[in-house]
């Protein structure tokens, strides 16, 4: 079993869990803001932050994962949010691999993948991205400047038939994949890149 990675409980039968993956290098209030919005807009029972050992799409490695997790816990202290290093424990590197491992570990739970609109714009570059779309509902939260590129992206066009309107975002928790919902939220215009740059 690989269940010890969680610091708050387990995924129970029928529970709907949002998954927010990333390097969190470092975690910031923007991450916390979209997490709270996701809990509310998609009517989620919990959100797990999946802190990755490294991002395959980035050339340079992040700060040590234990350091990133500690900062994440300070930034996002919420009873419905778990900070996890599941990918390190499970030995997965790509999102599709991680989702398959989670679904095997928690077959009675339902997972919803969460991401910013900037990720939807480049989603077709992810490994096995169509498997992800076909097997896990996706909640997309708009960030400043990313809305047009996301809505006209390859993934958005191919899966236009599976889109749930933003004003019906609560339906995503009961939807069967493929299903995705794009919601506009008042965003905190922060990024880990800007925070790292400010420290240099």
Q: How many CB atoms lie within 10 A of CB 114?
A: 28
Whole-angstrom Cα distance, residue 39 to residue 30?
14
Q: What is the tens place of the pLDDT at every residue in 152-173?
A: 999 999 999 999 999 999 999 9
Q: pLDDT digits over 86-95, tens only?
A: 999 999 989 9
pLDDT-derived band of residue 97, with 50, 70 and 90 as boundaries?
A: very high
Domains, the chain, ordered by start: 3-199 (3.40.50.620)
Give pLDDT, residue 129: 98
Average pLDDT over residues 93-108: 95
- Predicted confidence at residue 18, as pLDDT, reads 98
In a 3-state reduction of DSSP, which class is residue 196?
Answer: helix
pLDDT at residue 104 tops 70: yes
- pLDDT over 70 percentage in the chain: 83
From 18-27, 108-117, 186-195, the region with the lowest mean pLDDT: 186-195
pTM of the model: 0.86
Residue pair 72/173 in contact (Cβ under 8 Å)? The answer is: no
The whole-number pLDDT of residue 195 equals 42
Task: Say if residues 75 and 31 touch (Cβ distance below 8 Å).
Answer: yes
Quote the distance between the C-alpha of residue 125 and its chain's center: 16
């Amino acid at each position: 079993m690989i269940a010890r990675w969680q610091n708050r409980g387990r995924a129970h039968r029928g529970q709907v869990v949002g998954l927010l993956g990333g390097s969190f290098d470092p975690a910031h209030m923007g991450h916390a803001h979209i997490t709270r919005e996701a809990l509310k807009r998609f009517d989620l029972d919990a959100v797990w932050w999946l802190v990755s050992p490294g991002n395959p799409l980035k050339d340079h490695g992040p700060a040590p994962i234990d350091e990133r997790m500690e900062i994440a816990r300070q930034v996002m202290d919420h009873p419905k949010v778990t900070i996890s290093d599941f990918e390190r424990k499970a030995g997965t590197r790509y999102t599709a691999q991680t989702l398959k491992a989670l679904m095997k570990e928690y077959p009675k739970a339902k997972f919803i993948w969460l991401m910013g609109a900037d990720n939807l714009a480049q989603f077709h570059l992810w490994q096995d991205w169509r498997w992800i779309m076909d097997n896990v509902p996706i909640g997309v939260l708009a960030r400043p400047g990313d809305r047009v590129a996301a809505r006209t992206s390859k993934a958005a066009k191919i899966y236009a038939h599976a889109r749930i309107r933003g004003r019906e975002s609560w339906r995503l928790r009961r939807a069967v994949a493929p299903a995705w919902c794009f919601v506009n939220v008042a965003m905190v215009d922060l990024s880990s890149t800007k925070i790292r740059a400010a420290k240099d």
